[in-house]
Every structure is written in C-alpha cells, then in structure tokens.
C-alpha cells in the first residue's frame, strides 16, 4: 500500500522592506519571509482537489497585508502575527509556520550625529526566527542568526590530536581562528522581550568567543553555548554551527624573509565543520 506522508506547502522568499516613519528617526526592517501550512491536504496531493488549498499567492499577499498594519518591534512578533492570522482564518489548517531572515540596517553617522533617514547595512550576519503554531496548542518560537563572520588572532591553538600515516597537519598553539557561524535557540516561554533576549545572547556569544582560550573550535563552541544559556534563562537550548575557516600560514622562507604569524592565506574550502547543541540538564 502506498500513502502520502508528512507534507506541507507555502510561499518562500517573500521579500519585505518596511519603513516606519514615526517622526524624524525612521526605522527600517528588511525581511525574507517563508510561510507554510500543514493540514489534511491528501485530496489535493492524491486527487488534484484544491478545495482545501489556500493559494500560495494569497499567502504572499497576506505577508504584505499584515506588514502594513503590524506594530511588531521584531521578526519574532511579526512571525507570530502571521501564523496566528493564518490559523484563525483557515479552519482546514492544522498548523501554520513562518520563518524570517532579517537583514540588519543601522543609521549612518553624519557630521558626528545619527542621521535619521540614512542607513548602512550591518555586517553582523542575518537574524533569523521560526514560529510554529499548531491548532489547539501554543506558538513555539526559535530565533538565531546565520553567516556571522568572526575571527580571533590570539588565544587559539590545536594540538594533541590523533596522528597517523596520513596526518600532515602540524600542531600549533598560536593560530588564527575564523568561522562563519550560525546558531538557533528555543524559548521556553512566550512571555519574552525578544529584542532584549537576542541582544543578551549575542553579547554573551561574542564575549565568550573573544576571551576564551581555545584549544579547539569544539571547545570554543561549547563555551559560547554555555555562556548564552547562562545569560538568558528564557532559552532551553542553543544549536551552534561553526565551520572552521582556515587561514594558512604562508612560507616566506624561499623569499628570504621570516613569517612569525603575520601573513596568511584565507581559504574556505575545504573547511572543518563543527556543530553541536548545548542544552540545560534535565
């Protein structure tokens, strides 16, 4: 017997740029939105019966419609508004979900003052959030970031590892540690100031990365995750992915000069891939 398994459908890459013009200091939100629905859609997949299907084009328009009237201060709030609206207005839906990647924009400083209507794109990675809302249940919120480029030029080494006949890597107690990090954390309650929580978590992650005396990327990842959990009690766990972006020391001896850890070649492939979840015990 053949049967349909778990399924969902929705609209992806809905681009939204929202400008809040409350006074001389404008605010910009740039969101890349994905929304989806789960439900009893077997008749559509198996028989082509679309009577229970909300068109994905309508879902796109729903994003724009809700963005116009939304007073959400962050992507978590807007995503919650969307899934609540879709669930309340579509009785055939069993679960609505939304995922948002935010592009950060900051005010430009001009003449020593913050310019209210001119912006520069931050290089602090993309903020992300995913909200799912099952009918009869509670909305679940997970937030995070991706493509966060961080680098440290001291307090990083790698030694004491397994060596066999294929090992060519040399031990080092002084190397560059660079990564394009991604992370996601889950909230244990909906009563959260998401913007403040994100700020505390990101500050804890970056401070830990900066000061940690790293014996490996793995050890630094764990230290960062632990710091995030200690900083924000509203999260139950954090998943971190830290691909090791290598900076290889250049041999300058054929050129007649030394190279005491000054000149490197950055390379991102192949790269080490390190990831883990850090969670509260129990």
Pure H helices in 39-143: 42-47, 56-69, 75-88
From the candidates 26, 27, 56, 239, which is the catalytic residue? 56
C-alpha torsion 199→201→70→109, nearest 10: 30
DSSP secondary structure code for residue 261 in this structure: S
* Distance of alpha carbon 190 from alpha carbon 196, whole angstroms: 14
212 is catalytic: no
Provide the pairing of β-strand 113-121 with 177-187: unpaired
Query: How many other C-beta atoms can be found within 10 angstroms of the C-beta atom of residue 155?
Result: 16
Cβ within 8 Å of residue 222, ≥6 positions away:
276, 278
155 belongs to the catalytic site: no
Is residue 56 annotated as part of the catalytic site, yes or no?
yes
DSSP labels for 139-190? -EEEEEEEEEEEEESSSB-B-S----TT--PPPBSS--EEEEEEEEEEES-S
Residues in the chain: 282
Residues labelled as active-site residues: 11, 56, 246
């Amino acid at each position: 017997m053949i049967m349909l398994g778990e399924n969902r459908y929705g609209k992806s890459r809905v681009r939204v740029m929202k400008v809040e013009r409350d006074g001389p200091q404008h605010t910009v939100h740039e969101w890349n939105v994905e929304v989806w629905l789960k439900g009893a859609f077997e008749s559509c997949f198996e028989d082509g019966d679309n009577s229970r299907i909300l068109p994905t084009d309508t879902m796109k328009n729903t994003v724009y419609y809700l963005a116009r009237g939304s007073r959400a201060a962050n992507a978590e709030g807007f995503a919650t508004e969307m899934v609540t609206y879709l669930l309340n207005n579509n009785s055939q839906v069993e679960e609505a979900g939304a995922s948002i990647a935010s592009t950060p924009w900051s005010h430009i400083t001009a003449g020593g003052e913050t310019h209210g209507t001119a912006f520069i794109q931050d290089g602090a990675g993309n903020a992300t959030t995913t909200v799912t809302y099952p009918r009869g249940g509670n909305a679940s919120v997970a937030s995070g970031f991706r493509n966060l480029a961080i680098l440290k030029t001291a307090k990083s080494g790698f030694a004491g590892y397994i060596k066999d006949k294929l090992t060519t890597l040399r031990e080092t107690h002084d190397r560059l540690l660079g990564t394009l990090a991604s992370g996601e954390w889950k909230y244990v309650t909906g009563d959260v100031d998401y913007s403040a929580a994100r700020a505390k978590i990101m500050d804890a992650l970056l401070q830990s990365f900066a000061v940690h005396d790293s014996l490996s990327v793995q050890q630094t990842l764990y230290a960062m995750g632990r710091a995030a959990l200690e900083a924000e009690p509203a999260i139950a766990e954090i998943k971190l992915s830290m691909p090791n972006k290598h900076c290889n020391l250049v041999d300058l001896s054929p050129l007649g000069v030394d190279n005491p850890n000054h000149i490197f070649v950055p390379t991102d492939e192949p790269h080490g891939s390190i990831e883990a979840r850090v969670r509260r015990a129990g």
